[in-house]
Amino acid sequence: MTTFIGYNTINQFKKFTLVDRDLIKRDLLNAFNIRQGELVGRPAYGSAIFDFLFEPQTLETEIAMKNEIQRVAGGDPRLTVANVYTYPQENGILFELQIQIVSSSNAEILSIFFDQETRRASYI
């Protein structure tokens, strides 16, 4: 089994090392929190999902949001996304992603909330 090792300082106080599943989930959340085009030298990296938050929640908007989730998650070769479910909320949008880590056989459901007020994505 491949071991992925990385570092994280968000909500960490002593231990900054993340491995495997925790690192992949943190990297995915970071990709959603970076607006597309913000990262110097990598204009395709990041997410445009926040552009959809104030749009009317039509079927076309929902399909566009799911495509954006698939695009951002597809940029990480360590995971695959099987299903994406959308739940509009009063102050944002909740997405449930069924993911599978490539080196694992277990599927997992991630709940990610995109908040309109803070314009941040976070796990629930």
**pLDDT band of 16, cuts 50, 70, 90:** low
The model's pLDDT over 28-71, given as tens digits with 9 standing for 90+, comes to 898 999 999 888 888 888 999 998 888 888 999 999 999 999 99
Domains of the chain: 5-123 (3.10.450.40)
Quick one: pLDDT at residue 86?
93
Report d(CA 121, CA 26) in Å as an integer.
Answer: 11
Measured from the Cβ of residue 85, the count of other Cβ atoms closer than 10 Å reads 12
Residue 23 phi/psi, 5° resolution? -65, -45
- Quickly list DSSP for 58-80: -HHHHHHHHHHHHHHHHT-TTEE
> What is the structure's pLDDT at 15?
61
Q: Give this prediction's pTM.
A: 0.82
Residues 13-33 have a mean pLDDT of 76
